[in-house]
Structure 1
Amino acid sequence: MTLDYLIRILNAKVYDVAVETSLTNARLLSERLGNNVLIKREDEQPVFSFKLRGAYNKMAHLSAAQLAKGVVAASSGNHAQGVALAAQKLGTEATIVMPRTTPAIKVDAVKARGAKVVLHGESYSDSYEHAQKLVKKGNKAFIHPYDDPDVIAGQGTIGMEILRQHQGDIDAIFVAVGGGGLISGIAAYVKAVRPKTKVIAVQPTDSAAMVESLRAGRRVTLPTVGLFADAIAVKQVGSETFRLCQQYVDDTVLVSTDEICAAIKDVYTDCRSILEPGGAAAIAGMKKYAEKHRYRGKTLVAVACGSNMNFDRLRFVAERAVIGEAREAVLAVTLPEKAGSFRAFCEVLGPRSVTEFNYRYAGGTQAHVFVGVELSHKRETASLIRDFKRAGIAAVDLTDNEMAKLHVRHLVGGHAPGAVGERLFRFDFPERPGALAQFLRVMNGDWNITLFHYRNHGSDIGRVLAGIQVPERDAPELERFLNRIVELGYAWIEETQNVAYRLFLGLNQG
């Protein structure tokens, strides 16, 4: 069977529409991991993913009579674009069924190539079932996104290119897996030509149909799949792809959403390309696998399989990337509700940079602060919590708490009945390590901070919103404080009369 797929791949018709993509040396990532990291850049394809290889190869093997009737496909986006482009090239009509959750950028791209789009269901599996009805109704050819020998062979040309582009030994090739067509084609070719090279499957923890199937020894159907990496969100893998993966895949690795976000950042840093989540999964898996197995001096290839990223998702990716690369800890810190507590908190932090600080006075004897702290390595979190404990400050690690990261960080606030005499200020300052701590040191330690919000957004300007209870007798000292921070390069605006503050955060007047 290996020989059969080798012949299919060598004779695949893909280069009428596909290009031979780069095998890029990821210099910075290589230095960090201590290995030679190469990224196969399928984001360079005309449809920004590998999918057009298999789609075109399948359609190019259809008869003229079949093409005249048109084709049907089901896809979360990338395969759809491949089918649409292939249909344009071959002069046939394409109908694509896509999940309603598909990012708009992919839907629009498919329509722009002349294909008819039908939105149906929440996942690929739902769309697949509807597409089968259209196939029967119109007696049309179905272009499967992964479970078809011609599609698998088309994707296998990536493996052929990798081995041609890197003549030396390759220790492992990491491939993101949805239905399994990409890894099946690559593995079939690689194992026929260089059997010692490992082929490793990477899947998100919440869409691990292939990993679960390989463990069970049979195809498993997942009840639900996560949709962050929508391009590889499949409830059940193909029968042919499962058979090939059982035969050729050496190992598997699961990656989290945060780890995928960190990988998107890694590829951007090295290649200036923004991959979609599914497109970056292989890089995330390679990083995790190399660390777990203590790889050093190895040659590792990761397939960047797509870059159809929704622009609106970039905010989420940027926020979660620092956690995914273990460069930020998210903590819940409990401080005594008394003047000077913030200063004690800053002394424990020392030179570490604060990436986020959310607090709202609520009365009582304790203050609960939601804080993000920049780390040099993951083990530093436990050390920091011990330092807080020695200073009499309780701290809980929320870094892996999904609800805290998705919701709680944005909900710290509300009216504070006890914040009588509160004045609200916005402060802007040059973003640099220690700038926040310097601000707190300059402030009068006897004043009660009733609200504090800060988040490092990666810009050159840091922004703080602070509520301060200042007794009337301290008005001259407040003026001196404001003048002092201007000298230090901080700009300020008083927002006590701002309507948003008065409605949502100010003293509730009933």
Structure 2
Amino acid sequence: MYSIFPIMNTGNHAQGVALSGQKLEIPCTIVMPKGTPSIKVKNVSHLGAKVVLHGNDFDEAKIECARLAEAYGLTFVPPYDDPLVIAGQGTIGMEILKQIPEADDLDGIFTAIGGGGLASGVSAYVKRIGNPKTKVVGVETHDGDAMERSLGQGERVTLSEVGPFSDGTAVKIVGAEPFRICRELLDGVVKVDTDEICAAIKDVFEETRSITEPAGALALAGLKRYITNNKLLGSQKRFVAVISGANMNFDRLRFVAERAELGEGREALLSVEIPERSGSFIALHGIIHPRATTEFIYRYNDPERAQVFMSFKLSTTHREKEVSDLLASLEKQGMQGSDISDDELAKSHARYMIGGRVNVPNERLFRFGKE
């Protein structure tokens, strides 16, 4: 008997190895970053594997895994940087072409990219065995675009940091073998933001009543972005997005629901400065009405001007024009508005920190900490 030490943070590879070890009666130890969602850790543990949490990200966990494998003479099963693992992930491409009638008419397949195993495997099968005319497009986040940067520079690039939302693809450097294959066969990379991923999670839920994790919905978000960028909505093009993970902690759903409408372009978030006097709120509401207000944040801030964050449903599909017209209407009423729908800092932090420049006699500010 011997142990296998795979490292990963996507959840699927760890669960696959743990299940294989269980069936073959081979003890497995899985090394994951400390910030791995609890649902992934629990699922791997339930399959009988030992879980070691180490490091703050995938790459730190990988170093610890290599150390353990060398120290104890164990077999290391990488999550993506291995020809056999890539071939296994490439069978997804085979299944897609087998399951879709008239596969020769399939225009493209979209896959998430973390370390690059899935994208390289699907590319290899589709281009070499299937239909080379079918495009294979990888999808990354704006704050986790190691593959796109590597392809652009012709060599693997190491990111200084990676955004944590799509934790299943949060890799600082892609695998050497996946990069070699993707450089030759991948047709391109599309990048998306957090809101677009949340909108894709909502799309999957509404269509199938299934809940994906952020990395699992990454390909669909990229497909939607690709269609928008290339003005293909309503065309007869046929695409497939690979949904590749459902390891979602329940408590993350609130954040996803909050950001999905922004990702779909159905909602706008504005920062508005209005006169701090009676009637200003009513005047502001009159400009927004009859649109449904979904969020209104105000706190006493300044004796002359009030700062308000508000979000509301858009009433048309022409987002830019509608928001521009609203901002013009606000200006006519002596109000200064800014569209902060695409400002990640404002959406994640500033909207919850509004106010605070003027002392209010009956207000107390507390800070809780742990030594």
Common fold: TM-score over 0.5: yes
When residues 206 and 417 of structure 1 are mapped into structure 2, their CA distance, relative to the original with a 3 A threshold, is closer
State the match for 1:397 in structure 2.
339
Report the secondary structure of 2:171's partner residue. Answer: coil
Per-residue CA deviations over 1:247-283 (Å, capped at 9, x if unaligned) read 1111111111111111111111111111100000000
Preserved contact between residue 307 and residue 355 of structure 2 (Cα < 8 Å): no
When residues 371 and 297 of structure 1 are mapped into structure 2, their CA distance, relative to the original with a 3 A threshold, is same
State the match for 1:270 in structure 2.
207
More strand by share: 1
Report the secondary structure of 1:72's partner residue. Answer: coil
1:383 deviates by: 2.0
Per-residue CA deviations over 1:214-261 (Å, capped at 9, x if unaligned) read 111111111111111111111111111111101111111111111111
The structure 1 residue matched to 2:323, chosen from 370, 381, 385, is: 381
State the match for 2:305 in structure 1.
366
1:69 deviates by: 2.0
State the match for 1:155 in structure 2.
89
Preserved contact between residue 106 and residue 239 of structure 2 (Cα < 8 Å): yes
Per-residue CA deviations over 1:101-157 (Å, capped at 9, x if unaligned) read 101111111111111111111111111111111111221111010011111111111
Quote the Cα distance in structure 2 between the aligned partners of 1:283 and 1:246: 22
Quote the Cα distance in structure 2 between the aligned partners of 1:345 and 1:160: 56
Stretches of 4+ moved more than 4 A in 1? 413-419, 501-505
Preserved contact between residue 360 and residue 416 of structure 1 (Cα < 8 Å): no
* Runs (5+) with no aligned partner, structure 2: 367-371
The structure 2 residue matched to 1:177, chosen from 95, 102, 113, is: 113
State the match for 1:188 in structure 2.
124
State the match for 2:42 in structure 1.
108
The structure 2 residue matched to 1:319, chosen from 258, 263, 280, is: 258
1:167 deviates by: 2.2
Report the secondary structure of 1:347's partner residue. Answer: helix
State the match for 1:223 in structure 2.
160
The structure 2 residue matched to 1:287, chosen from 205, 224, 227, is: 224
State the match for 1:30 in structure 2.
none
Quote the Cα distance in structure 1 between the aligned partners of 2:272 and 2:359: 22
Preserved contact between residue 362 and residue 418 of structure 1 (Cα < 8 Å): no
Preserved contact between residue 109 and residue 241 of structure 2 (Cα < 8 Å): yes
The structure 2 residue matched to 1:128, chosen from 34, 52, 62, is: 62
Preserved contact between residue 59 and residue 171 of structure 2 (Cα < 8 Å): yes
1:99 maps onto 2:33 in alignment: yes
Quote the Cα distance in structure 1 between the aligned partners of 2:303 and 2:4: 67
How many residues in Structure 1 have an aligned counterpart in Structure 2?
A: 357
State the match for 2:369 in structure 1.
none
Quote the Cα distance in structure 2 between the aligned partners of 1:135 and 1:274: 35
Per-residue CA deviations over 1:388-417 (Å, capped at 9, x if unaligned) read 122332111121222221122223366976
When residues 182 and 349 of structure 1 are mapped into structure 2, their CA distance, relative to the original with a 3 A threshold, is same
1:164 maps onto 2:98 in alignment: yes
The structure 1 residue matched to 2:139, chosen from 188, 202, 208, is: 202
* Percent of matched pairs sharing the same residue: 50
Report the secondary structure of 1:88's partner residue. Answer: helix
Quote the Cα distance in structure 1 between the aligned partners of 2:304 and 2:58: 52
When residues 363 and 257 of structure 1 are mapped into structure 2, their CA distance, relative to the original with a 3 A threshold, is closer
Quote the Cα distance in structure 1 between the aligned partners of 2:197 and 2:77: 29
Structure index of larger Rg: 1
When residues 160 and 503 of structure 1 are mapped into structure 2, their CA distance, relative to the original with a 3 A threshold, is same
Preserved contact between residue 414 and residue 504 of structure 1 (Cα < 8 Å): no
State the match for 1:90 in structure 2.
24
Q: Given residue 179 of structure 1, which amino acid in structure 2 is its aligned partner?
A: G
State the match for 2:350 in structure 1.
408
When residues 362 and 153 of structure 1 are mapped into structure 2, their CA distance, relative to the original with a 3 A threshold, is closer
When residues 309 and 418 of structure 1 are mapped into structure 2, their CA distance, relative to the original with a 3 A threshold, is closer
Q: How does 1:449-460 map to 2 (within 5 A)?
A: none
- Using the size of structure 2 for normalisation, the TM-score is 0.92
Report the secondary structure of 1:69's partner residue. Answer: coil
Preserved contact between residue 327 and residue 374 of structure 1 (Cα < 8 Å): yes
Preserved contact between residue 279 and residue 306 of structure 1 (Cα < 8 Å): yes
1:503 deviates by: 5.5
* Runs (5+) with no aligned partner, structure 1: 1-67, 420-500, 506-510
